[in-house]
Structure 1
Amino acid sequence: MTQTPETPLKRTPLHAAHLRAGARMVPFGGWDMPVQYTGLKAEHQAVREAAGVFDVSHMGEFRIQGPGALAFLQHVTPNDVSKLRPGRAQYNWLPNERGGLVDDIYIYMVREDEYLMVVNASNIAKDWAHLQAHAGSFEVTLSDESDRWGLLAVQGPRAADILQPHVDVDLGTKKKNAYFPAKLFGFDVFLARTGYTGEDGFEVFVDASEAETVWDKLLAIGVTPAGLGARDTLRLEAGFPLYGHEFGEDIHPLSSHYGWVVKDKAHHGREALQSPAPQKLIGLKLDKVPVREGYPVLRDGQVVGHITSGTSSPTLGHPIALALVQAGAAESGDFEVEVRGKAHPATRTAVPFYQP
């Protein structure tokens, strides 16, 4: 999204809190967002070893209600939404007609005939238009609640222990992908045992007007504020695809290791998804030189693909990357990545790069 004087960066309900915490702010998908506070490595390590909190209030939330809600969601997504029960969440996709994705999403079942869909921040308007275009033949009501919610992601192996004294439910009884109402510091919230860091944790849906107070209370009990920088290194170590990098309108999503999302059912875009993926998403390990999105990937001196995401892994201590390469070249173990005209050896490695 190109910013002009007429389109200022949007701010989450936590903008003032980020400035108080000394965050370095950067433009991200049309939003003014914290990239780091004390430093990327320290924030990354806090999430791997204890607990960190991310402001993800820029994400979009759509409520889908009505007798036709399930049929509608089954039509616009390839995963089987009928498997959800109230209080459960599911990762899913919004396919387009040409074998790519409008977005990757999370769906939370609130109760019978009512669901909450969380979408990527930079895709809110596009996703809303896509859903509206497909809702006409279904008995369903769509509501854009993106401005209603603050969304905080408390992530890390100690997240449950740190939160437990301050909530009115037993977090130990809540499994991964649980979604449930709770009181946190006395505030009415919804908690979801979901996240995108590879660690345990809870996403906190809180009224936007109360988000800053909840954020401050989380910091006061020892949760480390973490920015976009750590969020990206954590998700990359976990091998999670990111829309706009590993997924997109013109990237076949079955190039990824997420083929389990597609179930055998009728849905919008099914025929295009059934075509073979011309590329494959692979993990690469390098010895010293970090690589970035767009760098060419070579095999036997020929360009066979490009880097989609790359970083120097704080946990592993060496550079890692995800790359889209030609399907026929994907099984090779040895590649090179071109960095400023020089080819550097890269070894194919299993994804995820890191598991807790």
Structure 2
Amino acid sequence: PAPSDAPARMAAPVNAAALIRGMFHPPGSQPQPGMGAFPPDWMASTFMQAAVRRVTTPQALADNSLRYGEPLGDGQLRRVLATRLQSLGLHAEPGQIITTVGATHALDIVSRTLLKPGDSVMVEEPGWAVEFARLDAMGMRILPVPRGPAGPDLAVMARYCEAHAPKLFVSVSVLHNPTGHSLSPASAHRVLQLAQQHGFYVVEDDTYGHIAPEHATRMSVLDGLQRTFYVSGFAKILAPNWRVGYVVAPTDWVDRLLDTKLLTTLTTPSLLERALAHCIEQGQLLRHAERIRARLDEARSRSVKLAQAAGCRFVSEPAGLFGWVDTGVDTEALAQRMLDEGYLIAPGSLFHAARAPSTLMRINFATTQDAAFWKVFRRLAVR
């Protein structure tokens, strides 16, 4: 074909990988409603640079750059994490903590260790599109469990247990993505009863725990890490490119998880882990998270008013970073129209295991405070 000066037309996200590519290559310079993270200026700080300088003295740089780190992860970070988890009520020894290349890597390690192709895995629906895609690529049988305000549909879980003997249940207990729901104590207790009765394990993704309300219910705390694996990280709240995450495991599973980590990544970068340990130990991460929460509360209030004024209806109570809204139009078709105007949105079909047309859309409260976006939305959301 003849060369053209016209820019290539970007395609709207139709799967998890496409949405992630859109995050790395946004269609415009304006805030992007479909993003899954805080804007970079929200996370900017000076204490992270100071922590890096602290751990990169000439001697420390030589000691930590010329040999592999500890297989489990930096010992100081694991000790600091164990202390931090105590404040959540989760009692774990440093030897039960394995650092990873972000929380996604932690989820991958658990899946690769516990599962084999063809195994059944229960996932929340709507849920994290990347988790659906990752499990599907590994050859797992995905069993979607409807997620409500209090937690997963327990009747559906019980039927799956009887019919398919699932090996694992993946859950975002606190500030669920995309609905913002948090698990109730009663629902958490019943899920753990089912796990004990039917022999499956629970992996609890607490990615949004840094902005969670106090005393939020976590299954790992109630279970005492008997049939639960706790996963979290710091990309969402502090340093996306440091790629530091971790998994806390039942003692009997630590060696097997560690083998999987060594076979996939060998060890993780100890310099950044040591710098992160300093940020946590000095209370800087806690103060940073408090500032983020306060700013997010204000942003959420503004975004909700703008969304409702644009004709959207919230299908779940606004909470956390994300809003789950009904637009009244097919959001997959809307996604392409919005992308042509420079806005990346996250259509509802991406958050279901079996993609189907949907009028729902996930919005990021931190990036939907701009009235200009909602003006374009109203113009293009033709019913």
Structure 2-normalised TM-score? 0.30
| Greater length-normalized contact order (CA 8 Å, ≥ 6 residues apart) | 2
Structure 1-normalised TM-score? 0.31
